[in-house]
């Protein structure tokens, strides 16, 4: 956990070491809270993975606290940066995820405002179902006009998101 620059500048204070350990423990707690599928997508050390799975089964407060401390200790032996980056991406708090979300929102607004935008989008995404998109756009416009809950509006966003994800996959 100590970097080469820290070694050159002298010993790390006890306060800083404790702060780093608490950060690792919090990262471990975030791993415990992940759904099973997302936890499986992370490349974790086997001992760490087992400790996280064990922490999920523990219901006693004190036993769970000790298990989280153990997970924090195991985290000292792994590089936390890739785990943090993956968690941020899964939570949608990474800059890339935020930018992608905003881009999709702008695309949805452009599609709702201009009928010609759908033609350009379908041309750029050959797998897009133009009829389904046209129906979702028409229903979203009607919802906005009548002040109804935005069911089709949200469904349009989900459809755009899935088309973007399909286009991003390597062929």
Give 144-170 pLDDT, tens digit per residue.
999 999 999 999 999 998 888 777 655
Which of the two residues, 63 and 98, has the higher pLDDT score? 63
Domains present along the chain, CATH in parentheses? 4-91 (1.10.60.30), 95-168 (1.10.60.30)
- Cβ distance 113 to 121 under 8 Å? no
The pLDDT of residue 140 is 93
The pLDDT of residue 2 is 52
Segment 25-51 shows an average pLDDT of 87
The pLDDT of residue 154 is 93
The pLDDT of residue 166 is 74
Which of the two residues, 3 and 132, has the higher pLDDT score? 132
Which of the two residues, 167 and 55, has the higher pLDDT score? 55
The pLDDT of residue 171 is 43
Q: Return the percentage of the chain with pLDDT > 70, whole number.
A: 90
Q: Return the percentage of the chain with pLDDT > 90, whole number.
A: 42
């Amino acid at each position: 956990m100590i970097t080469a620059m820290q070694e050159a500048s002298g010993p790390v204070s006890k306060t800083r070491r404790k702060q780093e350990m608490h950060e690792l423990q919090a990262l471990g707690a975030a791993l415990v809270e992940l759904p099973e599928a997302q936890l499986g997508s992370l490349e974790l050390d086997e001992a760490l993975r087992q400790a996280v799975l064990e922490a999920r089964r523990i219901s006693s407060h004190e036993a769970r606290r000790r298990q989280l401390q153990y997970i924090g200790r195991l985290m000292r032996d792994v590089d936390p940066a890739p785990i943090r980056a993956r968690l941020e991406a899964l939570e949608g708090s990474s800059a890339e995820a935020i930018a992608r979300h905003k881009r999709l929102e702008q695309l949805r607004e452009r599609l709702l405002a201009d009928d010609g935008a759908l033609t350009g989008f379908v041309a750029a995404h050959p797998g897009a179902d133009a009829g389904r998109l046209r129906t979702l756009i028409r229903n979203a416009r009607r919802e906005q006009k009548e002040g109804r809950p935005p069911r089709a509006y949200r469904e349009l966003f989900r459809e755009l998101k899935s088309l973007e994800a399909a286009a991003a996959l390597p062929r």
